[in-house]
Structure 1
Amino acid sequence: MTKAERAAHLDRRLDELYPETPVPLDHFDPYSLLIAVLLSAQCTDARVNLITPALFARANNPRDMMEVPVEEIREIIRPCGLSPRKSKAISELSRILIESHGGEVPADFAALEALPGVGHKTASVVMAQAFGVPAFPVDTHIHRLAQRWKLTNGKNVDQTEKDLKKLFPRNRWNALHLQIIFYGREHCTARGCDGTVCMLCRELFPRRKAPVVVTKS
């Protein structure tokens, strides 16, 4: 298969495997999603979903959150890791949302990325999942699978994102982002597959014998 043929095959098969793409992080509005995505850095979605109910019971909007002492936020989110940095970012971005955005999460990449603790991937997730704007956030699963499927050279996550956006239709980016993550977690895991084991790797590369060495994001 050519790269374009592999992309078309994956597009079809992933849509068959995962026709529904629920957002893995529990949330109820753009603000709660933003906070959940921020907390998910170097933390599993499952753990974030265990932590956010207590945090949002304390404050579930930026105006209330900015009044919560950073130390209290840090104690609540401690199990997510990186709590000193994340708690400070949550407090500061909540204040900025009130002071500069009318208390609303902006549906704008540049404005999101200007918020403390919000990088391009976090902004992309919020734009895609909260506002429906086409984006292709690349996490470790997507970066790994894109290399195993020879859709990118794996140089870095920025290049992987650019390569995937060129290969797949814009109207499929948001769903594919989640479908690839679901598949990577369930079948093509970091240790459970080396590019020769899972069903999609075998479908794409039936003659592949040697393991695929991938670079981390």
Structure 2
Amino acid sequence: MNATLRRRQSIAWMMDAETPRSLALGALKLSWKQSAEEIADIADGGRFSPPPLSEGERAVLSAEDRLAGAPDWVLGDYPEWLASAFDAAFGEDAVEEGCGLAGRAPLDLRVNTLKADREHVLKALARYSVEATRYAPNGLRIALGEGPQRAPNIESHALHGRGRIEVQDEGSQIAAELAGAQSGMQVVDYCAGAGGKTLALSASMHNKGQIHAHD
């Protein structure tokens, strides 16, 4: 369902329809990269399967150039009513920016520097193809592709259980870094939420000082 919502514009254009069935079939092709034959195997009319593909559906799913000549708002998967705003904000990069916003978000982690260092955690999580974040100095990122791939259950990992890593997007990590909190300070966090940035501030302060967390 998430893949269908993220790519709704391009799927509807490709399928020339916006019914729930058309969107689901189109998502299998565009996001899950399945061929018409593979989709036909799923839609076999069985008891727990969708009805078989019509000839028209099979023809659409077999075509390779259905998005050729589509407008930017379709290629970038953003609503048509936002087209002028995207053009004004991003110019010739509107499609690229739209695709970036419509893509599946990565899984970002923050290393708790009170208990571990980033290089050690990078090695410990190597099987997840983890990389250091570009801007946050203690962040890690696991890219998630489209389709059936599931995000790793990091919260069940021993490093998470021992408090050495936290799930936290890079933007929040950057905000905590820019606060410039240091040992011994009195800090007020007026947007604490679940406390992720508060924990990051605590690590920056080396557990010395006081943080007042509010939301």
TM-score, length-scaled by structure 1: 0.29
Question: Higher relative contact order by CA 8 Å / sep ≥ 6: 1 or 2?
Answer: 1
Between structures 1 and 2, the one with greater strand share: 2
Select the structure of larger CA radius of gyration. 2
The answer to which structure has the higher helix fraction is 1
For normalisation by structure 2, the TM-score amounts to: 0.29
